[in-house]
Amino acid sequence: MRLIVEKFGGTSVGTVERINAVADHLADKHQRQESLVVVVSAMSGETNRLVNLARQITSNPAPRENDVLLSTGEQVTIALLSMALHERGVKARSYTGPQVSIRTDDTYSKARIREIELSKIRADISAGYIVVVAGFQGVDDGGNITTLGRGGSDTTAVALAAALNADECRIYTDVDGIYTTDPRVVPVVRRLDQITYDEMLELSSMGAKVLQLRSVEMARKHHVPLRVLSSFKLGDGTIISGTEKESHMESPLVSGIAFQRKEAKLSLLGIPSSPNALKVVFAAIAEANINLDIIIQNLGAHGATDLSFTVAAEDYRLCLEVVYSVGKKLGVERIEGESDLAKISVIGVGMRSHTGIAQLLLETLVDQGVTTKMISTSEIKISVVVHESEMDRAVLALHTAFHLDDEDEVNSSNVLQIA
């Protein structure tokens, strides 16, 4: 029998009706002799409700107690889904993260999974049960409840699939797969049949919200085939697996376009030549808990260094204050800043072995009258920073330029399919 781990997000179990629909789906799979481990999130809106309750008590809840509170949302869902399965004559047993047990470190609100005790799950599967596990939560070595952060149920599902050596991990959500870009920006988007772990990691890190980044990292590390499907309509979804070496050479050069609004750029021009100058700048920024994204360093006039980087727009004012302070001490010639920017990234493993991608990207932006503020490249990604007001136009044009409007290009029959 195939062993499948299936995860259902908050919208998929958001009402009693939706829970009953999931139970019908699972009962049908069970009848077809599939062994199932099911991971569920809290019902949609429940986590926000719990957060708001805590805020009515205190503006600074104790991290331990906050995790105890937030973990209760999933406990409701696993019990209701198990009850719904019982009503359909299906044996089911629910477990919280601590009951399994999913062992984590002791970092509240963003704990990382260390190990999973599988004896209960394996025994229940052998006895013909559907095992229903609460996502998003675990327990540390001290017996304290921990949570894995927003989207943590994805990570729970992948971790269980890896530990159990499952045939596939299926993530059911409110979209029916991974698309070439956001349909709210480009009206003619295409669903990808298949995408590599590396491409999905880049899409997730660049702003795509379909999967939690940590879950993709874990799937890649443990070679877990991931499939993203819709809970609301039938379809094969998108399979995430493999590497470029496992794909055929005719795969599309660019698989998708990701973007992030609300970016800002800062430049320190004429940093005096000194072994410690850049170290001082980056240390000051890190001390302010500001994350940098694109970083570009150039040798300026008379041996001085020019440094530019991007930050989230919400960190712009603070970062400007930090670099002005440290720049004054270092004797930096000029500091420039600009907000209201956006980052666009074209992503694809096919870019590694093909030239001309950057040329086409820049020509397309020039033709659209879009000014490129910064550009950064890696093996499977090219990112550009543009003014936010020009972002939608740029994404639309790039989507067409890289033939992502063409279904035959995107869903190529030459792409390796892993069922």
The predicted structure's pLDDT at residue 243 = 56
Residue ranges for the known binding site for substrate are 47, 74
User: Residue 168 pLDDT > 50, yes or no?
Assistant: yes
Residue ranges for the known binding site for ATP are 7-10, 173-174, 179, 184, 209-210
Asked, for residue 193, whether it belongs to a domain, the answer is no
In which domain, by residue range, is 54 found? 3-174
Asked whether residue 389 falls in the same domain as residue 274, the answer is: yes
Asked whether residue 291 falls in the same domain as residue 164, the answer is: no
Domain termination site, one of 174, 197, 226? 174
pLDDT in tens, 283-306: 999 999 899 999 999 886 677 889
Q: What does the block give as tokens for 199?
A: 């491409």
Residue 378 belongs to a domain with what CATH number? 3.30.2130.10
Q: What does the block give as tokens for 400?
A: 């067409």
The predicted structure's pLDDT at residue 211 = 82
User: Residue 233 pLDDT > 90, yes or no?
Assistant: no
- Average confidence (pLDDT) over 331-359: 88
User: Residue 411 pLDDT > 60, yes or no?
Assistant: no
Asked, for residue 330, whether it belongs to a domain, the answer is yes
Mean pLDDT of the chain: 89
The predicted structure's pLDDT at residue 419 = 20
The predicted structure's pLDDT at residue 415 = 26
Residue ranges for the known binding site are 7-10, 47, 74, 173-174, 179, 184, 209-210
Domain termination site, one of 152, 174, 196? 174
Asked whether residue 169 falls in the same domain as residue 35, the answer is: yes
Domain termination site, one of 174, 208, 240? 174
pLDDT in tens, 235-248: 889 999 875 444 44
Asked whether residue 163 falls in the same domain as residue 287, the answer is: no
Asked, for residue 344, whether it belongs to a domain, the answer is yes
Instruction: Report the number of distinct structural domains present in the chain.
Output: 2
Name which of 12-21, 81-90, 240-249 the model is least confident about. 240-249
- Average confidence (pLDDT) over 30-52: 95
User: Residue 348 pLDDT > 90, yes or no?
Assistant: no
Asked whether residue 144 falls in the same domain as residue 279, the answer is: no
CA distance 419 to 29: 16
- Average confidence (pLDDT) over 24-52: 95
pTM of the model: 0.78
Per mean pLDDT, which of 39-43, 194-198, 269-273 is the most reliable? 39-43
* Contact criterion met (CB below 8 Å) for 41 and 80: no
β-partners of residue 239 are 194, 227
CA angle centred on 57, ends 105 and 68, rounded to 5° = 25
